[in-house]
Amino acid sequence: MSNHEIGPHVRGESLFIGDLPDPPGLLHAAVLAAKVAHGHIVRLDTTPAAGLDGVHCILTAADIPGENQIGGIVQDEPLLAEGEVHFIGQPIAVVVAETAQQARAGAAQIALETDEIPGVFDPREAAAAGNLLVPSRTLSLGDVDATWKACHTVVEGRADSAGQEHLYLETQTALVIPQEGDRLRILSSTQAPTAVQRITARVLGLPMNAIEVDVTRLGGAFGGKEDQATPWAVIAALAARALKRPIRMELSRHEDMVMTGKRHPYSSDFKIGLDEDGTILAYEATYYQNGGAAADLSPAILERSLLHSNGSYFVPNIRVTALSCRTNLPPFTAFRGFGAPQSMFVLESAISSAAEALGIDRSVIQKRNLLSEGDTFPYGMRAQQGHARRAWSEIEQRFDLPGLQNEVDAFNRNHTLVKRGIALMPVCFGISFTSTFLNQAAALVHIYTDGSVSVSTGAVEMGQGVNAKIVGVAAHTLGILRDRVSIETTNTLRVANTSPTAASSGADMNGRAAEIACRALLDRLKAVAADLLGVRGDRITITGGAIEVKGKAVELTWEKLVSEAYLRRVSLSAQAHYATPKIHYDRETESGEPFAYHVFGTALVETTVDGLRGTYTIDRVRVVHDAGRSLNPLVDMGQLEGGLVQGIGWMTVEELLYDGGRNLTDTLSTYKVPDILSVPEIEGHFLEDADNPAAVMKSKAIGEPPLMYGIGAYFALLDALRAFRPDRRPFFNAPMTPERVLMHLHGDRCDEDEIDMEEADSIVQR
């Protein structure tokens, strides 16, 4: 079975790290984690655990041979706490035992005393106390201050969105096998093999060439394994080094939910100014990002929030400020969308408030302000394709919006206990890592003497289908059938210095690297064929494994050609590197061209709300999405559907709750994700004739953008709520749980307790 085959995968035959047979001598590691959100460690006595059955050793910060530091962007995060703890779930000690059960039992016996210090959990409180993870940043275009007085209507308000648990099916896990000497082989469920390699080397005090990281596949990641797979692999490596035994480290679901970071909650203020007709003249926002106890990827996520503050719209005067606030919660981290969903929710909230104030439909404002070709983004880049408007018009053409609106209005007139709502949600998402240097990838391609092909790249397969896409690119480029190509594990010995598979760009960049390597091989093979056939190389084409001269089939086959090339001592291996061209960004001036291109699309969301129970269904979502020339329409439709449903979950039923620093939703019985029964009818269409010159085989990235269509679910629900209670102002506090629906419809206040709308909101109208 190869790494990209769907049949065996859906039959459950794929091997994840947890499925691999135990190597001889295997031991298991478990961690003792902090039980208070902020405190001084006053006693840490491991002796009660040391004598337990099966326990081999207990490691603390004092046993780290290199640096006790796992921070990536900012070096502010110890692997194991020393002196102080900063969040519940922070690893303090590691117990290694014969079984995972014994290791956990050992951790429970360690005598730990912590003197609690007051913690901070609210990002606005942290900001007020000057507790930021990195300095705040402001992005601006035009002159906001000078524009307010020219506006017909100015609305201010507040919008909050909660965090989100990744809930990848496979929890964080690693298996480390000591090799000769100091060398370690690490099997890790990570999106970032090189980060695991680099941080392990740093913590163990070894050179990177002593560490091999191998990744076969992940059981889901969604950003949760971009930075946060690392500590578990490093902990296992630390134990493997200390004991010279293979070590497994696997978080239980509960440990994973308690200890690992999630999507950042944001609390934001907005101010929007418009003309009478709904044209947005000015927009201002401040985002308070709840960063948790260490920087992790928060600074990059905050940057992406700023770069998506204008959503799919042209906003001529804009000023947005983002603060990454340090709190005593597990460091929040990458999650599909990477800060863009949060800032797009704020703008959509502002648009809703403005629509309310102007007495027009929010879709009028949305449509009027959509980006056109050549419009400037707040960071100075220009919109290169008019696909924001194209996708919106295609929604209008395909789905008869006025007809749907009439149907919904009629339904709402005829029903008192149940109401329907609709909303449109345009998405514009920039493709490329915002840290320019990460936009590079590499591939290593071998053709074996039987004509079969082996491709290694830096891309990690996490269920998103990147291997299926790269097989397609390699087979197409070489002109052979897909079944001749296999994709190998992602391995730091074969492909070095990999960027994380993230930012939706895995197939884009690694596919391009594979394409370049395959072209080099093809050129060498064509030269051999030209010589064999006595024709010029440019007359030869290879398609589906058949060789043709000027379109006519010849005797020579792919297999014979490869074998002949080998006999002539022609290299059948190629390595290639790809660096996304042109992109640049200047953080001093907050301007540049950070993205290779943008992905566009629009969703039309329909919902029905039960006004007695507060429950609702998301009935149907129809999407027109720009996938460029899709590399693999089946995979892309899967990403569209999966991303959409994950976004709907974030906006509706997934409610991450904390009591101080304690996660109250740390089990599957208290944290609800959409199940198959709650999935709406989904109708996805890809824009036709949307070739993208800026990516591999004219495709577009797809991993993240569809998540943001889910934001439409929140506003469709608000639309239905307005049909029940036109007297109540909309509130912007996601997720829109059934409890919040009930509070809005029947509570004393028009919002629920956390936000005082009357104080937070103000409308100035001339």
Integer distance in angstroms from the first to the last C-alpha of the chain? Answer: 68
Closest contact distance (angstroms) between CB of 227 and ligand LUZ is 8
Closest contact distance (angstroms) between CB of 279 and ligand LUZ is 31
Closest contact distance (angstroms) between CB of 614 and ligand LUZ is 34
CA distance 405 to 424: 12
Cβ nearer to ligand LUZ, comparing 583 with 718: 583
Which of 259, 244, 236 shows the shortest CA–CA distance to 95?
Answer: 236
Cβ nearer to ligand LUZ, comparing 328 with 464: 464
Interaction partner, residue 264 (ligand MOS, ligand LUZ, none; CB < 5-8 Å by kind): none
Asked if residues 716 and 422 have their Cβ atoms less than 8 Å apart, the reply is yes
CA distance 57 to 245: 12
Question: DSSP class of residue 603?
Answer: E
CA distance 257 to 246: 26
Interaction partner, residue 191 (ligand LUZ, ligand MOS, none; CB < 5-8 Å by kind): ligand MOS
Closest contact distance (angstroms) between CB of 504 and ligand MOS is 6
CA distance 395 to 382: 24
- Strand order in 55-59's β-sheet? 55-59, 91-97, 27-33, 247-250, 173-178, 184-188, 211-215, 490-491
Helix crossing, 738-746 with 711-724: angle to 10°?
30
Closest contact distance (angstroms) between CB of 3 and ligand MOS is 20
Interaction partner, residue 516 (ligand MOS, ligand LUZ, none; CB < 5-8 Å by kind): none
Binding site for ligand MOS (CB under 6 A): 191, 223, 226, 334-336, 338, 502-503, 704
Asked if residues 724 and 616 have their Cβ atoms less than 8 Å apart, the reply is no
Cβ nearer to ligand LUZ, comparing 310 with 607: 310
Report, in this order, helix, strand and coil percent for the chain, each rounded to 5: 35, 25, 40
Amino acid of residue 147: T
Cβ nearer to ligand LUZ, comparing 304 with 744: 304
Residue 149 in tokens: 């007085």
Closest contact distance (angstroms) between CB of 65 and ligand LUZ is 28
Cβ nearer to ligand LUZ, comparing 175 with 502: 502
CA distance 330 to 119: 12
Asked if residues 39 and 51 have their Cβ atoms less than 8 Å apart, the reply is no
Residue written as token pair 């993230």: 502
Interaction partner, residue 433 (ligand MOS, ligand LUZ, none; CB < 5-8 Å by kind): ligand LUZ
Q: Is the omega angle on the peptide bond into residue 735 within 30 degrees of 0, that is, cis?
A: yes
* 3-class SS of residue 317: strand
Interaction partner, residue 304 (ligand LUZ, ligand MOS, none; CB < 5-8 Å by kind): ligand LUZ
Cβ nearer to ligand MOS, comparing 287 with 338: 338
Amino acid of residue 574: A
* 3-class SS of residue 359: coil
* 3-class SS of residue 552: strand
Phi, psi (degrees; rounded to nearest 5) at 605: -110, 135
Closest contact distance (angstroms) between CB of 509 and ligand MOS is 12
Cβ nearer to ligand MOS, comparing 506 with 680: 506
Tell me which H or E stretch contains 742.
Answer: helix 738-746
Catalytic member of 704, 739, 754, 758: 704
**Closest residue to ligand MOS in the complex (CB):** 223
Whether 654 sits among the annotated catalytic residues: the reply is no
Interaction partner, residue 335 (ligand LUZ, ligand MOS, none; CB < 5-8 Å by kind): ligand MOS
Cβ nearer to ligand LUZ, comparing 157 with 465: 465
Closest contact distance (angstroms) between CB of 499 and ligand LUZ is 8
Binding site for ligand LUZ (CB under 6 A): 223, 226, 297, 300, 304, 334, 338, 433-435, 438, 502-503
CA distance readout (Å), 657 to 295, 388, 637, 670, 733: 21, 35, 32, 9, 13
Interaction partner, residue 434 (ligand LUZ, ligand MOS, none; CB < 5-8 Å by kind): ligand LUZ
By annotation, the residues acting in catalysis are 704
